Structure 1
């Protein structure tokens, strides 16, 4: 299993293709607070709930100085369809080889109905303007996570 990030760690940089056709790098947001969340699969019930929660709370997060980036192992085409269907206005990034998820500790052993397999672990990492991890949460629940994150960050 990949090493999980801890507060104070340097956030690993990445450059990934986005649903809108652009390429997004963490360094593009140097000097800003960034919420990087990893989710298993676009257009599934839990991931849709979580993405829509971020969408619905985007204004308050932005007002508090946070940018949101969503990362999954889905293709750019699938992410584009997901973003359009759910009217998601924040960047959705494609990590098809899951190299970024591995570097961020969001890829590892999972269990589902007694079956053990490797996959994406629903995770959220907050990176500060200094490029350091300020908060890292792993195995988060899709429902209610954004509300808890806002509370943890002091965002009202």
Structure 2
């Protein structure tokens, strides 16, 4: 079975590593400096700890080679949604939303299917205010033209299963 696999772009992880390293060095400098008060040393250790975690997360994202999104003839699987597979038959509409520079594709699904995504009341309220759905594909770390991906998702949701296999094979060879 042909699949389209979308991976994280490494530039986000590299920028997180660079910024975290700067602050860790500043924290070390803060400890090594003479004449510090106890509070200044505490802040320096806190800075090292916090941005040290940023270094760990940056390395994890840099070396994580698992696909973020997999698209095949049966549906879409996204690691961030905690769902097994979003089948094409369930997708009624898809549209991009921009939340502070982060691009998402909101998937409006068939209401007859119960989605087990649990949201807090405040998260549901915010989602309704920004016109988001319960299922949103995060594209912030993926290098892809979100408009073309959105058009592709809409097209695939309207095709028959046999036509989807041909379309996936074509896109897997030529790209989205």
TM-score band (shorter)? under 0.3
- Calculate the TM-score normalised by the size of structure 1: 0.26
Between Structure 1 and Structure 2, the one with more helix by share is 2
Q: Which has the larger radius of gyration?
A: 2
- Calculate the TM-score normalised by the size of structure 2: 0.24
Between Structure 1 and Structure 2, the one with more strand by share is 1
